[in-house]
Amino acid sequence: MSMSEGRAVVTPGESNDASLFVLESGICTMMGPSAEGSHRTCSAGSMFGDIRLSGMLSETVLATVMAATPVKLWTIEHAMVVAVCRGVGRSLPGQQPAPAQTREGQAGEAGPLLGVREGRDSPPLQGESVEQHAARKAAHAAGPMVKSVPVPLPSEPDLIRAKHALVQTLQDEPIALHELERIAILGTGAFAYVVLVRCRGRVHALKVLSKSHVMAKGLQMHVLREKGIMSSLSSAFLVNMAAALQDSQCLYMLLDFQQGGEFFTYLQNRTDPLSESSARFYAACVVAGLEYMHSKGVAWRDLKPENLLLDGRGYLRLADFGFAKRIAPGSRSYTLCGTPEYLAPEILMQSGHGLPVDWWALGVLLYEMVAWTPPFHQEERAVMFRAICSANYTMPAYFSKDLKDLIRRLLNKQPSRRLGTVQGGVSDIRKHPWFAGFDWSALVSQRMPAPFVPKVQGPEDMAHFEAGQEVAHKLLGSGRHVSVGTFADF
């Protein structure tokens, strides 16, 4: 079903035929049950519902879920959800029947309870098929409303298996290469290029990598890691991957198309630096994206204006995850990677680095947005690297006191003392005085107006990219075929 912006998808206490919602497109905001409650964002692929399927759903709804943008959702009746859960539960070896629950609304050893109201709905009986339950449910549809009856739900392992079963059922058929209609080239690189394509009524950016070039450079593991990380991430503040494909010559990543183009181009086309107010909005978008990535244990390691894209509403999206890496708590990476002006001291000195390198890069970005140049920029790389390692830079007098303080705290050469890394984590950044009065919930739900909204004529408009060219009917492969098995995990 489709819902317009501002509509309530789920309201606590409301009777719903559908107890499970799967968000196909758009953004929903989950608002806490009280004025002080937290606001969470659900993006495409999220599942939420008005039943307590902890461990199965992306979100358990004990509050209101609103459509922050126009959304499309799948809905599933709770009878089907419970039937699937029970079906999965029966297949688990050694599973014991859950003890009966005697107190309404409470959970015991059997786990959380599902409350239903007879006359509008009722749980499937033991051994009852979905069809039998549907017929009995229809017979009771006109019955009186009575108090909730507690029903024990399956255990967490059951729910995890049930989630996989449901997701498999709901997924679209896999995308095939022949479905991609090429429009124009968006950009080219050393061994890859990006093509604008149509697929199933939507416009995407298709990243194309030559297998032979990847192998010649010894980048197989690098590319496989990038694909693996992108497959595990989905956020309104990232460029998300819809599919990964391959043929005998090329690897393909089907990505979100962000029509606003590179943030770097936007900054370069301006006649003056950003105001602190505008910089605050863009910095907050980056904070939201990094917070999500770090929650998954992923360090981006390549923050720079060229890797930030403006979407159609003017929000920033983190793009290009070629240097992204999972770094476990307490572990370090020793790879020298990134853009020179944005490298953290610990990367340059190869003393071992982790997630804090991204907060250093945020400090560099903040400085560049408002000053129009990175803080450590020098023509001679050796001079610049010495300045980075000693955190030696000066700030313009027109920077506000709070901006100077935030940048200093982010550009701390000691990773363990860097803002975003100390005990308060990312909340220390959100609570910094420079962000005083900033409505983070409005940003996350994307209700906040952006300082700049790209002008586009339609979903295929490429006005904010360099002039594209028609793509030949044949994709530009290297001419040499490579076994699919070489990239079996792609």
Distances (CA, A) of 89 to 54, 113, 160, 165, 220: 15, 16, 10, 12, 40
Q: Where are the alpha helices (DSSP H) in 191-255?
A: 211-216, 220-232
In the residue annotation, 428 being an active-site residue is answered as no
Residue 228 CB neighbours (<10 A): 15
Answer for the pair 465, 186: CB distance below 8 angstroms, yes or no: yes
Strand order in the sheet with 2-3: 2-3, 71-77, 18-25, 47-49, 59-60
Residue 379 CB neighbours (<10 A): 6
Q: Where are the alpha helices (DSSP H) in 234-355?
A: 263-269, 276-295, 345-348
Of 185, 180, 208, 209, which Cα lies nearest the Cα of 195?
185
Cα distance between residue 211 and residue 246, in whole Å:
9
Cα distance between residue 287 and residue 426, in whole Å:
8
Q: Count the alpha carbons within 13 Å of 383 in the hemisphere toward its beta carbon.
A: 7
Of the listed 121, 158, 256, 302, which one is catalytic?
A: 302
Token output for 490: 């792609």
Q: Which residues are catalytic?
A: 302
